[in-house]
Amino acid sequence: MTTDEFATRLTETVDWLTKEFTGIRTGQAAPGLLDSVKVESYGALVPLNQVASVGIEDARTLRISPWDVESISTIESALMDADLGVSVSTDSAGLRVSFPELTSERREQLTKLAKQKLEDARVSVRAARDEIMKEFDQQEKTGELSEDEKFQQRERVQKKVDETNTKLDELFQTKEEEMTK
């Protein structure tokens, strides 16, 4: 693993956590909350945003406008199967997805889920760090790196790991604040 690959993996981890946190719903309705919903269309499961447009109607309601009106019932069943804890109503133009107020119990569950995602991201960062550290040890054994160079590389890597962990913690803090509003 090169240092560029290492940096890429850290960036991917931050991006992954950001995407995962988008899928954890807060008191606000956001189209990203429906990204995980898959709808059957012409015999294949596709993401909801490939068969309909999703917009915000108000703070706790999303409006889904399917491109093919015939797919309204399919989209409705996909939303029910996704078990997002939302209520769905249909009309001739599409669907309305209403998000209920979060209970304190549900907030607790979502906070635990967010903490688990944060820990998964940290594990990924540690694994990448361990992998590149082993690479440095190997390079020292083969003579590609001197001992001083190895320690300089290790310090640079640890600095990047610390920066990434700080970003991950900031993402978590932001999400936690969203959930307590």
- For 3-22+103-180, CATH number out of 3.30.70.20, 3.40.50.920, 1.10.132.20, 3.40.50.2020 equals 1.10.132.20
Supply the CATH classification number for the domain 31-98. Answer: 3.30.1360.40
Q: What is the pTM of this model?
A: 0.68
With beta carbons less than 8 A apart as the criterion, state whether 17 and 171 touch: yes
At 156, give phi and psi (nearest 5°): -60, -45
Radius of gyration of the chain (CA): 22
Tens-digit pLDDT string for the chain (181 aa): 788 899 999 999 999 998 888 777 666 777 777 777 888 888 888 888 888 888 888 878 889 888 888 888 888 888 888 777 778 888 888 888 887 777 788 788 888 888 999 999 999 999 999 999 999 899 888 988 888 888 899 999 999 999 999 999 999 999 888 877 6
Helix (H) or strand (E) holding 17: helix 3-22
At 24, give phi and psi (nearest 5°): -90, 120
With beta carbons less than 8 A apart as the criterion, state whether 79 and 97 touch: yes
Give the C-alpha separation, 168 to 179, whole Å: 17
CB-hemisphere CA count at 13 Å for 121? Answer: 29
Residue boundaries of the structural domains of the chain: 3-22+103-180, 31-98
